[in-house]
Amino acid sequence: MRVHRLWVIVIFLTELLLCFRPSESQTPLTCHPRDLNALGDFITNLEPKPEDWLANDNCCSWTGITCNSSFTGRVTKLELGNKKLSGTLSESLGNLDQIKVLNLSRNFIKNSIPLSILTSPTLQTLDLSFNDLSGEIPQALNLPSLQSLDLSTNNFNGSLTRSIGNLSSLVRLDVSWNSFSGEIPDVFRELTRLKYLSAQTNRLSGGIPRSLASSRTLNLLNLRNNSLTGPLLLNCTAMVELNSLDLGTNRFNGRLPENLSVCKRLKNVNLARNGFRGEVPESFKDFQSLSYFSLSNSSLVNITSALRILQNCKNLTALVLTLNFNGEALPPDDASIVGFEKLKVLVVANCRLTGSVPRWLSSSRDLQLLDLSWNRLTGAIPSWIGDFNYLFYLDLSNNSFTGEIPKSLTQLQSLTSGSISLDEPSPDFPFFMKRNESARGLQYNQIVGFPPTIELGNNNLSGPIWEEFGDLKKLHVFDLKWNELSGSIPSSLSGMTSLELLDLSNNRLSGSIPGSLQNLTFLSKFSVAGNNLSGRIPSGGQFQTFPNSSFEFNNLCGERRFPCSGEASSAGTTYIKHSRRRSRGGEIGMAVGIAFGSVFLLTLLALIVLRARRRSGEVDPEIEEESMNRKEIEETGSKIVVLFQNNNDNALSYDDLLDSTDSFDQSNIIGCGGFGMVYKAVLPDGRKVAIKRLSGDCGQIEREFKAEVETLSRAQHPNLVLLQGFCFYNTDRLLIYSYMENGSLDYWLHERNDGPALLDWRTRVRIAQGAAKGLYYLHQACEPHILHRDIKSSNILLDENFDSHLADFGLARLMNPYETHVSTDLVGTLGYIPPEYGQASVATYKGDVYSFGVVLLELLTDRRPVDMCKPKGGRDLISWVVRMKSEGRASEVFDPFIHGKENEKEMVRVLEIACLCLSGNPKQRPTTEQLVSWLDHV
């Protein structure tokens, strides 16, 4: 017993002594002098310096530094990504001879990469992506331990060095979005661990080298948007791990490789926009792994054989065959085609196909997107299309369909009450939409980007517009133009509460425009032109924003436009009425009448010819615009682009802008706003810019346009999107802006699935602070002061560091040059427009503050200003927040991704600021100067 007690005492004392023994974790690591000196030299060339660097001699405690745990204090990781660093890299980084991870991505570092970094024996991860680095990759590249190399989105040029073959441990290589040229070196036989290779959007030429085309380890190969040529030669027997192959937008030719189906794990294949010809190989019937397949914009033939073969691909979910099989017949039901059981996306547009919609298509019960537009299909639209439970995008426009619109389309489940949350057939590959008159050059990188749509325009459809269409509450685009539809416009269409576009023009509709359509609060485009409508044009809701052309060639009238009988006219124009009162001067009236009648007849004749051409399929929007772009390039020649603060000796021309955007090709579109399309461009010197191509008539001659743009260019602030230059040439008015790498705040909050989770609270506060400073500058510091008039989350752009920049300021004035900056021409977006704008048509600085308050609520709640998908009581963001506050439930409005005890006090403060901005009395709203001060103290 005493022995037992003795052992207990011994064990207790031993454990007590161990508790007082210093552990490794309690002993602060001391930085090695060699590494300290190297880091000191490195940071000397960069600004701003991290606050805790050089504050003491122990670099192991500095931000972004990780040291090993063996008491030697050697630096193993240097991670300063997204720190706004500008400057150059020092050769001293090579003295960090124990470093394993070097991450300096998403900064502003320029010039070349020091050779010492590229010969480190220990480096495993090197990420220098999203910087301004330039020059060629040295031939002396030698990193035997490197597993991941990311040099994407820089300005590197020259050829890809053969010394890539020295990277024997490499698993991931990304050199996308640079200016590399020449052939891909044939050195991949040595890279026995390589799984991921992306070199998209460069200037690479030649073919795919044999060693790369035989890689046994490669999982993803992305060489999209280069100038690769020749036949496509892949050793699919060897490529046993290949899962994703993207060779779109190159210059490959010849026939499709017959052995592609031998790649047993290959799921996603994009071969669009090449020069392939001939038929789909018979061997593709064994392509059982294939899920996404795009062959658009090629010269393929025999659609019957292609569909007969591809139906055997039992896992095929997306098939895009646009611009192929020119003038062939869509295979009928007796063509040995059973159907595509798992297909979710089918696009066979712009092929000038004849025939009718075949019954075998009805077997694709999971179809979500069907596009057969711009063909020559005839017959009735099948009623069984309404049985597709998941269909949310239907485009049968620009064909020759006849008969009534199937009533079953009013029951499409995904457009009534179903969910449009989709499984992506291939989130990595872009879907290119055709050009047409309603949506030019749209590109959607994901299926969920497509707006819920029914497009049946430019056919020969007759009969009524069914009242039941009002049940499609999820529909965004409803286009029935250029048909023979008759009867009245159903008032029930007001039930389509998500509708953004409603085009009923050029039909045989009669009656009046239902006043209930004023309740369509999202409606941004509306037209009933060219019908037999009469009565008063509604004046509420969005109707006051629609142009006169939306109502012309009817017997319509309404205030502020075409006054009804007995009302005073300010415009003195009644051209949308079929009957016109004669002027007192009979001869003058007759002369004017003859002249107008001649113009009217010529216009009518032109419309008839255009419609006939559309009926016959002679107008192909993609080919038509491409030929127009070629013609513009041939005829315009060179025109100097004005660049503000241009320090370069080389002048920039209009042709350079055409080259940098591939003649404003749809693949370069990065945005579409109320003033025109926005294109990404890489200028000849390698700089990335955004080019806004203004739509519509600016109403100015070049001198006036130049003067106004130069005024806007003087608005320079770190939180504004910088206007770098402009070009006024022929009918083109182009504005050149700084490129914002991370797109809009709206995208991160409302479109990208993981966006809200990636925007932490401090990032959101910084975004709000920056936007407030930009708005303060416009309102009070800029000369002349500028009223924005369209503050919203999609006009707050984010750079590579997620710093915010206001966009589109001053464009309302540029497009309406004869108005003052404090204008009566209201511009705004639903959900952001202050209540007083509906009472007095005068835009004000306090109106901008109101809109900014809505943006603050979006940052706090991750909700849109108006969301018809929410239950009643929660659709209007402002009303919902006010109600929740009044019920003492304010904490429940915060986005769960950012709501935590450590943030709640600050979030409540920002909520109070937002509510002050949203005061119903404009005088009680804060100034932008107050906003900046309040937000800076959050």
Handedness of CA 665, 671, 672, 675 (dihedral sign): negative
Of the candidates 150, 143, 151, 149, which has an alpha carbon nearest to the alpha carbon of residue 167?
143
Question: Amino acid identity of 503?
Answer: D
Nearest to 97 by CA among 127, 128, 61, 121: 121
Q: Report the C-alpha dihedral over residues 570, 571, 577, 578, rounded to 10 degrees.
A: 120
Kindly compute the dihedral angle of the four CA atoms of residues 461, 464, 465, 469, in this order, to the nearest 10 degrees.
Answer: -110
3-state percent helix, strand, coil for the chain, nearest multiple of 5: 30, 20, 50
Q: How far apart are the first and last CA of the chain?
A: 66
> How would you classify residue 506: left for phi > 0, otherwise alpha for psi between -120 and 50, otherwise beta?
left
Contact (CB, 8 A) for 619 and 610: yes
- How is 728-776 classified by DSSP, letter by letter? EETTEEEEEEE--TT-BHHIIIIISTTHHHHS-HHHHHHHHHHHHHHHH
Beta-carbon contacts of residue 446 (< 8 Å; ≥ 6 apart): 424, 427, 431
In terms of DSSP bridges, do strands 179-183 and 723-729 run parallel, antiparallel, or are they unpaired? unpaired
Closest Cα partner for 452 from 371, 515, 398, 394?
A: 394
Please state the residue numbers annotated as binding site for ATP: 692
Structure token pair of residue 46:
């960069």
Q: How many CA atoms lie within 13 A of 61 on its CB side?
A: 11
Kindly tell me the sign of the dihedral angle through the C-alpha atoms of 560, 562, 566, 568.
Answer: positive
Taking the C-alpha atoms of residue 56 and residue 74, their distance in angstroms, rounded to an integer, is 16
d(CA 554, CA 578): 6
Give CA–CA dist 850/853, Å, rounded. Answer: 5
Q: What span, in angstroms and rounded, lies between the C-alpha atoms of 106 and 757?
A: 19
Q: Which two tokens stand for residue 809?
A: 């300021």
Helix (H) or strand (E) holding 509: strand 508-511
What's the CA gap between 244 and 224, in Å, rounded?
Answer: 12
List the beta strands (DSSP E) in 265-336.
Answer: 268-270, 275-278, 292-294, 299-300, 318-320
How far apart are the C-alpha atoms of 68 and 29, rounded to whole Å?
8
Distance CA 714, CA 717 (A): 9
Q: Which residues are annotated as a binding site?
A: 692
Catalytic positions: 790
What distance in Å separates the CA atoms of residue 534 and residue 389, rounded to the nearest whole number? 38
8, 10, 16, 17 alpha-carbon torsion, rounded to 10°: -170
Do 91 and 116 touch, CB atoms closer than 8 A? yes
Contact (Cβ atoms closer than 8 angstroms) between residue 445 and residue 431? yes
Q: Which two tokens stand for residue 718?
A: 């770190």
Query: What stretches of 403-545 show up as alpha helix (H) in DSSP?
Result: 413-416
CA–CA separation, 402 and 329 (whole Å): 18
Place of tokens 């080919």: 623
The amino acid that residue 425 corresponds to is P
125: left (phi over 0), alpha (psi -120 to 50) or beta: beta
Nearest C-alpha neighbor of 409 from the set 422, 399, 396: 396
